[in-house]
Amino acid sequence: MRIDILTLFPEMCETVMAESIIGRARRRGAVQVCCHQIRNFAYDKHNRVDDTLFGGGMGMLLMAEPIALCMDNVIEQLGEKPHVLYMSPQGSVLTQEKVKELAGFENIAILCGHYEGVDERVLDAYVDEEISIGDYVLTGGELPAMVVADAVCRMKDGVLSGDECFEEESHYNGLLEYPQYTRPAVWRGREVPPVLLTGHHANISQWRRQQSLLRTLHKRPDLLARAELTKADKKFLSSLETHVEK
C-alpha cells in the first residue's frame, strides 16, 4: 500500500511517520508513505499558495491550482488516480470500520487543509470523501492525516507481527478491548485476575470476552447495539441485567 500526504508541512508528517512501528514498516517496505510539499507547485516567484476569500471574510484560503498540480504529480507517479481523502471537520467521523475499508485500497492520497481550508473547486475535482477525526477544529489537517495513515497502515500485512495484534483490540469487532496485565502478579497490593494465571486457554478466552462486554456496557453502551453478539454474549448480558434488577 502507498499513502501520499499533500501538505504545507511535509517535514512534520515525515518526522512522525518515520518513527516506531510505522517507521520500521516503511523501512522494511511493508508500506509506503510519501509526503509532498504543496508549495513546490506554486506558480509565482513568491511560492504563494493562499489568497483572500471571494465575498470577504477572515483568514486565507489555499488556492486550487497548486493543490491540483501536486495531485496531478502524484497521479502521474502512480499511473492512476488514488482514492483521495480530505481531512475536514465537516467529514464523516473516522471509525474502525472506515479504517478497514480504507485499508482495502492500494493507493490513498490525503489532502491536508490549512488556514480557512481549500478552494471548493479542487475538492469537487479530486476528493472522493472527507474524513474527520472528531467534532472539533485543528489548525491544519496534518495531525488528522497522520492519524488516518497510522490507523490504516497498521492493518496491512507485515506492519504488525500478526493479525491477532489488532483483531482483539477495541472497536475492531465492535466491542472495547478487555483489560490486560503483565508482571508482577501483585503490584502495590493489586492482584492480576487469577484466571489469567491458570494457563486454561478456554477459561481465559471466556473471561476476556466477558470483560470486553462489561467494558463496552459501562463505557460505550451505544456500541452494543451494533456489535455482533453470540448467544453466549447475550446470555451473559442478560444475567447482568437480572442481577441488577435483584
Q: Between 16 and 162, name the one with better pLDDT.
A: 16
What are the tens digits of pLDDT across the range 103-131?
999 999 999 999 889 999 999 999 999 99
What is the per-residue pLDDT for 57? Answer: 85
What is the per-residue pLDDT for 172? Answer: 58
What are the tens digits of pLDDT across the range 126-180?
999 999 999 999 999 999 999 999 999 999 999 986 555 444 554 557 899 999 9
What is the per-residue pLDDT for 174? Answer: 84
> Is domain 168-245 in CATH 2.60.40.1730, yes or no?
no
Q: Is 216 exposed, middle or buried (0-12, 13-18, 19+ CB in 10 A)?
A: buried
* 180 in Cβ contact with 122 (< 8 Å): no
Q: Give the separation between CA 246 and CA 244, rounded to whole angstroms.
A: 5
Residue 238 has pLDDT above 80, yes or no: yes
What are the tens digits of pLDDT across the range 184-228?
999 999 999 999 999 999 999 999 999 999 999 999 999 998 899
Burial 158-180 (b: 16+ CB within 10 A, else e): ebbeeeeebebebbbebbbbbee
* 197 in Cβ contact with 181 (< 8 Å): no
What are the tens digits of pLDDT across the range 25-50?
999 999 999 999 999 999 888 889 99
Strand partners, 129: 85
DSSP annotation of 174: S
Parse the chain into domains and list their residue ranges.
2-153, 168-245
> Is domain 2-153 in CATH 3.40.1280.10, yes or no?
yes
Fold identical between 2-153 and 168-245?
A: no
Strand (E) or helix (H) holding 166 = helix 164-167
Q: Which residues contact 27 (CB under 8 A, 6 or more apart)?
A: none
